[in-house]
Amino acid sequence: MAEKQYKIGEFSRKVNLSSFTLRYYEDEGLIKPRRNQNGQRFYGEQDVKWLKFLLHLKGTGMTMAELKQYVAWRAQGDATIQQRIKLLRRVKQDAEDQIRELENNLAIVNHKIDWYSGKLDETINADEDFEQYLKKFE
């Protein structure tokens, strides 16, 4: 039993990207679906996995240019593994920084919500401003 093949429409629903975007990614060299005798694209399970991996990379903030670089290195074989590791380490660092910053920003938002809540139920003095309130947590 051969593996499931998807045409672009079905595949686009599966990976939650428009057909436009899939063709765009293909133009950019990120994916290479097979074609049938009529030139229609067919995607298999490998393409699903590969695309999902790309989307994970993308989701860390990697740009198109970096993804293309990564793909180019991959196509060159094992000789470029060091470069790929180096790029991924940068991506890792970057993602960690983003997480830290988000957590930082989130903490402020949480304090602000608490402060507003306190104002509403009057457990916070009407005169105490957010700055003063924040000092309690330093």
Told to check if 109 binds DNA by CB under 7 A, we report no
What are the DSSP calls for 57-113, one per residue? HHHTT--HHHHHHHHHHHHT-GGGHHHHHHHHHHHHHHHHHHHHHHHHHHHHHHHHH
Q: Which residues of 54-65 are buried (b: 16+ CB within 10 A; e: fewer)?
A: beebeebebeee
Told to check if 2 binds DNA by CB under 7 A, we report no
Told to check if 21 binds DNA by CB under 7 A, we report yes
What SS3 class is residue 37? coil
Site for DNA in 28-57 (CB under 7 A): 36, 38-41
Which residues sit at the interface with DNA, rule CB under 7 A? 7-10, 17-21, 23-24, 36, 38-41, 58, 63-65
Which residues sit at the interface with a copy of itself, rule CB under 8 A? 49, 53, 56-57, 59-60, 78, 81-82, 84-85, 88-89, 91-92, 95-96, 98-99, 101-106, 108-110, 112-113, 116-117, 119-120, 130-131
